[in-house]
Amino acid sequence: MNPGLIGGIVGGAIGLAGGIIGTYFGIKNTNGPRERAFMVKASIIVWVALIVFFCLMIVLPNPYRFFLWIPYGILLPWGIVAGNRGQQRIRQEEMQDAERRDAP
């Protein structure tokens, strides 16, 4: 077999395994049920978006597939920031709810 093909397959498998492990621990390390539900939804959205992106990269011919990097480069950072803000908002709301329950 071609060494480039082997490297591509091994690298893809390692990347996929890293994504699965990162998703698992991202969900596992949440603080409450609302935060966990948010992370599950966010993970599903990200996985679906990446699968669509990679499928389009395979299906689209040159030079059109290179245009996919424009929305990817915009939506990825925006999604990360929006997701972090949403998670932080939920954490603060859950802490306030816990303080209200503990208050006499």
Return the pLDDT at 56: 94
pLDDT tens per residue, range 44-72: 999 999 999 999 999 999 989 999 999 99
Return the pLDDT at 55: 94
The identity of residue 29, as a single letter, is N
1 three-state secondary structure = coil
Is the model's pLDDT at 77 over the cut of 90? yes
Return the pLDDT at 17: 96
CA angle 24, 30, 36 (to 5 degrees): 80
The whole-angstrom separation of Cα 54 and Cα 95 is: 39
**pLDDT band for position 95 (cuts 50, 70, 90):** confident
3-class DSSP string for 5-47: HHHHHHHHHHHHHHHHHHHHHHHHCCCCHHHHHHHHHHHHHHH
**pLDDT band for position 104 (cuts 50, 70, 90):** low
Output the DSSP codes for 43-73.
Answer: HHHHHHHHHHHHHHHHHSPTTGGGGGHHHHH
pLDDT tens per residue, range 14-28: 999 999 999 999 999
